Structure 1
Amino acid sequence: MKRLLAGLAIALGLIGPARADITLRVGDQIAGVRSILEAANALEGLPYKIEWSQFPAAAPLLEALNAGALDVGFTGDIPFLFVYAAGAPIRVIGASRSLPAANAVLVPKTSPARNFADLRGKRIAVNRGGNGHFQALGLLEQAGLKPSDVTLVFLGPTDARSAFVTGAVDAWIIWEPYVSISSIEDGARVVADATAVFPSKTFVHAHLNAIRDKRAALQDFNDRVARAKLWALANPGTIARISAGLTRIPEATVLRSLETKRETPIAIDDAVVRETQGEADLFTRHGVLPARIDVTAAFDRSFTNRLGAGN
């Protein structure tokens, strides 16, 4: 971690100063990144302006980024595969890794299911083309089941939770903070997580125009986010208090989510590229992606290559 902090500390001086007349249009989900930056005081002395936009999930954020309405945004690694496969002018410039429990399969507290295999024949809510969809297919393969052995119901987080609470679906595959929200407020129970299915990562995406025109600001912002995430690991209570004020999610729920995720910045190295290629290949096997894609060119390693591998 010291080596990572040192690399980040010197990074700011390597690409020239960011300009005060530049505005970065940043897409966030449920104030997750903004709350960390504000709690860590990581926006002090900002040499450019930030215009925040908040989204409930990855799909609308990536749509906005693809359309050029955002310069940079944060989503899980899985949803990015679809916009990249469709030719979106977006590249990954940063990454962080969370613990496998950050993505979970939830069942009602009265459900007899004790593991994923017990959901054979059941209705499972997932977000189409997202982490939930991928996790479902990976868990089906692990359990020796076929997609036809369950019914995947494609819903966004808000509608999925409603269906889950009312019993319209038997299980819900979802990510934090929704895992903690439903566990605490709905009495949901976890029967599986992402262990051995996929390495849960968050990507920092940037539009190609922003990489060309706002590179110094992007580099500075990416470094500030990484430093703030490292700080957050040691100060989850402060993050929870700030985030609760921004999102109206109860502080105890936010704290549980942060401690479940333990999100840590990582360099974009060969291992990250291989993992992402494996994720794309799973979707191709199941016909979710129509053809195999090579993800190598999806990454711009220059924004994190000073940090070294394995951080």
Structure 2
Amino acid sequence: MSIILNRRSTLLMLAGSMLSACAGEGARGAGKLFVGDQRGGSRVVLQGAKRLDNIPYEIIWSQFPNAAPLLEALNAGAIDSGIGGDSAFIFAAGTNAKIKAIGAQATRGIGPVVLVRRDSPIRSLADLAGHKVATPRGSVSHNHVLAVLEAYGQPYDAVTFAFLSPFDGRAALQSGAVDAWAIWDPNAAMAEQEGARILPGKQDLVSGYALMFGREGAIAYKRGLLQDYHDRLMAGWDWSAKNRDAYADLMHKDTGLAIDILRIMQARADRVPARIDDMLIARQQETADRYLRAGVIDRKLDVRPLFDASFS
């Protein structure tokens, strides 16, 4: 059985979640798993892989527009699990979030990009200095811009950031309120169809993992449910990697995005289940160190304790 809540409903749950925590985890329902999702995300791949059948507990779904509010809900105790980008996770961890990564999906191919309007004088990533760039704060795209500045020997304050949601970033680029937009697919593919262009230059500078998260309290008190859900999600990610057209069709039905946009996204990158290993953790440490140098987080962060490989 599944129940779907929107973000407003989820945020209204926060106060109740904190109060029920005082009464013990059992008060929140040992047979219920509260899962955060994004459109076209976990529920879709589980549906495609037929892993929503015969679940011996109740999944209560909550929809979020991107990883940042999902991580906030996890940290507040409103949900038990969810997925999001690795850079957003490191940013959240830098603010003392009580969350661990318990699963991973690797992206190979095009990752975050920087787009400009068609008539922009900016010709490459080397030309970003002195311009205003929209991106979600702490996201993989924020990380990408910082890494680009490093790669071209430019200071982090060479650009002015406008920290905006994907929806607002798209509008800001279209209106001319910003000079560039750092974002990921399918947003990038949509912007291209609307006339924007991707800046060439040094790419593939940051890791591209989607992570499955577990709230520390859920790991302690709902481990069996989380383990079962983890295994189902890994099977779903495996299915989506091997059935791209079918996955694109399901995403189209769930998100309303044009099928050609989704097929562009599928063609530009491979997304496959990955293990939490030393290489993955080392890439996350690079992000944490970059965020510290750039002032995105304010303390040295050892990322290894943030990852729990035992679910694999």
Normalising by structure 2, what TM-score?
0.86
Residues 31 and 54 in structure 1, CA contact (< 8 A), matched pair in contact too: no
In structure 2, C-alpha distance between the alignment counterparts of 1:130 and 1:71, rounded to whole Å: 21
Shift of 1:21: 6.5
Q: 1:161 aligns with which of 170, 175, 178?
A: 170
Gap regions ≥5 residues in structure 2:
1-28
User: In the alignment, is residue 212 of structure 1 matched against residue 220 of structure 2?
Assistant: yes
Q: 2:128 aligns with which of 97, 119, 125?
A: 119
In structure 1, C-alpha distance between the alignment counterparts of 2:223 and 2:147, rounded to whole Å: 37
Q: 2:101 aligns with which of 84, 89, 92?
A: 92
Residues 101 and 193 in structure 1, CA contact (< 8 A), matched pair in contact too: no
Q: 1:181 aligns with which of 190, 198, 218?
A: 190
Matches within 5 A, 1:17-28: 22-28=31-37
Residues 31 and 243 in structure 1, CA contact (< 8 A), matched pair in contact too: yes
2:51 is matched by which residue type in structure 1? A
Corresponding position of 2:17: none
Q: Are residues 281 and 128 of structure 1, via their aligned partners in 2, closer, same or farther at CA, if it must alter by over 3 Å?
A: same
Q: 1:80 aligns with which of 85, 89, 95?
A: 89
Of 223-232 and 110-119, more deviation after overlay is shown by 110-119
The superposition leaves residues 136-183 of structure 1 with CA deviations (integer Å, 9 ceiling, x where unpaired) of 110001111112322221111111110011111111000122112222
Corresponding position of 1:4: none
SS in 2 for 1:98: strand
Of 47-56 and 187-196, more deviation after overlay is shown by 187-196
The superposition leaves residues 204-234 of structure 1 with CA deviations (integer Å, 9 ceiling, x where unpaired) of 1110111112211211111111112122122
Q: Are residues 97 and 226 of structure 1, via their aligned partners in 2, closer, same or farther at CA, if it must alter by over 3 Å?
A: same
Residues 121 and 149 in structure 1, CA contact (< 8 A), matched pair in contact too: yes
Shift of 1:99: 2.4
Gap regions ≥5 residues in structure 1:
1-19, 305-311
2:151 is matched by which residue type in structure 1? Q
Shift of 1:259: 2.7
Residues 107 and 208 in structure 2, CA contact (< 8 A), matched pair in contact too: yes
Q: Are residues 293 and 153 of structure 1, via their aligned partners in 2, closer, same or farther at CA, if it must alter by over 3 Å?
A: same
1:140 is matched by which residue type in structure 2? L
In structure 1, C-alpha distance between the alignment counterparts of 2:283 and 2:247, rounded to whole Å: 29
Corresponding position of 1:11: none
Corresponding position of 2:151: 142
2:234 is matched by which residue type in structure 1? A
Residues 110 and 204 in structure 2, CA contact (< 8 A), matched pair in contact too: no
In structure 2, C-alpha distance between the alignment counterparts of 1:59 and 1:21, rounded to whole Å: 26
Matches within 5 A, 1:223-302: 223-302=231-310
Residues 91 and 296 in structure 2, CA contact (< 8 A), matched pair in contact too: no
Of 208-217 and 68-77, more deviation after overlay is shown by 208-217
Q: 1:58 aligns with which of 67, 75, 88?
A: 67
In structure 2, C-alpha distance between the alignment counterparts of 1:202 and 1:53, rounded to whole Å: 18
CA RMSD after TM alignment: 1.8
In structure 2, C-alpha distance between the alignment counterparts of 1:259 and 1:234, rounded to whole Å: 12
Residues 125 and 202 in structure 2, CA contact (< 8 A), matched pair in contact too: no
Corresponding position of 1:101: 110
Residues 104 and 193 in structure 1, CA contact (< 8 A), matched pair in contact too: no
Show structure 1 runs of 4+ deviating over 3 A.
192-196
Shift of 1:38: 1.0
In structure 1, C-alpha distance between the alignment counterparts of 2:100 and 2:145, rounded to whole Å: 26
Q: 1:110 aligns with which of 119, 134, 141?
A: 119
Residues 133 and 182 in structure 2, CA contact (< 8 A), matched pair in contact too: yes
How much identity, in percent, do the aligned residues show? Answer: 38
In structure 1, C-alpha distance between the alignment counterparts of 2:202 and 2:107, rounded to whole Å: 10
Q: Are residues 284 and 21 of structure 1, via their aligned partners in 2, closer, same or farther at CA, if it must alter by over 3 Å?
A: closer
Shift of 1:110: 2.4
Q: Are residues 100 and 291 of structure 1, via their aligned partners in 2, closer, same or farther at CA, if it must alter by over 3 Å?
A: farther
In structure 2, C-alpha distance between the alignment counterparts of 1:225 and 1:260, rounded to whole Å: 22
SS in 2 for 1:102: coil
Residues 194 and 200 in structure 1, CA contact (< 8 A), matched pair in contact too: no
In structure 2, C-alpha distance between the alignment counterparts of 1:155 and 1:192, rounded to whole Å: 23
Normalising by structure 1, what TM-score?
0.86
Shift of 1:120: 2.3
Shift of 1:193: 7.9
In structure 2, C-alpha distance between the alignment counterparts of 1:300 and 1:280, rounded to whole Å: 17
In structure 1, C-alpha distance between the alignment counterparts of 2:231 and 2:56, rounded to whole Å: 13
1:289 is matched by which residue type in structure 2? I
Residues 102 and 308 in structure 2, CA contact (< 8 A), matched pair in contact too: yes
